[in-house]
Structure formats: C-alpha cells, structure tokens
Amino acid sequence: MKKIKKNIKFIYLISPNKIKTNNFYTELDQVLSTKKVSFFQLRLKKETDKNKISIGKKIKKICKKYKVKFLINDDPILAKKLNADGCHLGQKDTEILKARKILKNKIIGITCHNSINLAKKAIKGGADYLAFGAFYFSKTKKIKYTANLKILKLAKKITNTPIVAIGGIKLSNYKKLLLNKANFLAISGYIWNNKKYKPLEAIKKLK
C-alpha cells in the first residue's frame, strides 16, 4: 500500500488584525522558520493603503526568505503594487475575472463559506484554491456562515483544487480537518492572540 505523503507545510497563516509593533516581524520570522507555513495572508481591514504598503514590504521580505507565498486580502490592486504572490477574495470583493486581469497568473483564492455552488462558481472562474468555513467559533472575525466536515468531502468529490479550512482552528481541533482532507488550515488567533503560548511555541505544537 502506497503511503500518502503528509503535507508538512499545511498552515495558511493570516496576519493579526493590527500590527502594532516591530516585534511582530521578529515573531513572524520565527514562525516561518519552522517551515510549516505555505501561505501568509496580509489582512488589515482598518489600515491606510500607505501603511499596508509599508508593512507589506517588510512582510514580503520575510516570506521570500522562507519561500512562503505572500497574499493580500481583498485587494488585487494592492497585491499588484506590492508584487505579492497573489490575493484572497471574499464574496463581496472584486470579481475573480477582474482580479485575474489585474494579477494575470498570480494566485487567486476564493471564500466559498459553506456552499458547493459558490465553490463550483469559483472553480469555473479559475480559482487557485477554495476556502471553506467557519468550522469553529472564532474571535478574529464575526461569523456569518458555519461549515461542517461534510463540505470538505463534497468538495473533494468535485475538484482537485486545493482546499483551505478556516475559522477558529487551534490545537484541539486542527487534526480533524487534516484527516478530512483539508489541504491547508487558515490560522490567525491561535498564533497571534494565544494567551498560553507565544507564536513560535503555538506553531510548534501543530504537527
């Protein structure tokens, strides 16, 4: 029987909602040095574009150092300005076809909530990955849609497009999602706002 190779770089890391101090860049460097992260998404809803560019440039350097794909949340134009590896789009953001014109062959991922119909639409539009969730309660953002493990199985039946699971993922529940064939786990609060562990300790516990 052929042994299935486990994806060691299964973490899709999302930035904290605010980047307050330079200490963040040191912590990010430490976290990415574990070689468990495939993607890093810059998600700063309340920052000016000027600040996002300044922060993005610093993060991009660290991502490049560890061969992590650097993505921008919601904004293909900013992704182009920063020459990021791509962009993540929610359902209320830029249409994928418009984003594709801006970003050409860069990575574009799409939020599909808990909907196979949205997933089919994203696949048709040429999405590079599909994000489903929220699977668990999360303090990082307000939850409007909840997803269960069945959606992962249904999605796997219709596509080989990589699947990212999102929402409240932490030490006590991450293995369930990997066992149910999620390719990547989008994690934010467990790493950046963990009251028990520092970011490096938190990520090391995910094996």
Residue whose structure tokens are 């303090």: 139
The enclosing H or E element of 184 equals strand 184-187
For the segment 37-65, what is each residue's pLDDT rounded down to a tens digit? 999 999 999 999 999 999 999 999 999 99
pLDDT at 1 (0 to 100)? 37
Q: How many Cβ atoms from other residues are within 10 Å of residue 171's Cβ?
A: 13
pLDDT at 21 over 60: yes
| The token pair that represents 201 in the structure block | 């300790």
Q: CA distances (Å), 103 to each of 67, 83, 125, 171, in order?
A: 20, 9, 14, 35
Confidence of residue 6 (pLDDT cuts 50, 70, 90): low
| pLDDT-derived band at 119, boundaries 50, 70, 90 | very high
> Is the distance from CB of 167 to CB of 133 less than 8 angstroms?
yes
Identify the pLDDT of residue 72.
98
So where are the chain's domains?
11-204
Residue 11 CB coordination number (10 Å): 27
Per-residue model confidence as pLDDT tens digits over 55-102 = 999 999 999 999 999 999 999 999 999 999 999 999 999 999 999 999
pLDDT-based confidence at 120, cuts 50/70/90? very high
Sorted by sequence, the CB contacts under 8 Å of residue 102 that are 6+ apart come out as 76, 77, 79, 80, 94
Q: In CATH, which superfamily holds the domain spanning 11-204? A: Aldolase class I (3.20.20.70)
For the record, the structure tokens of 183 come out as: 């390719």
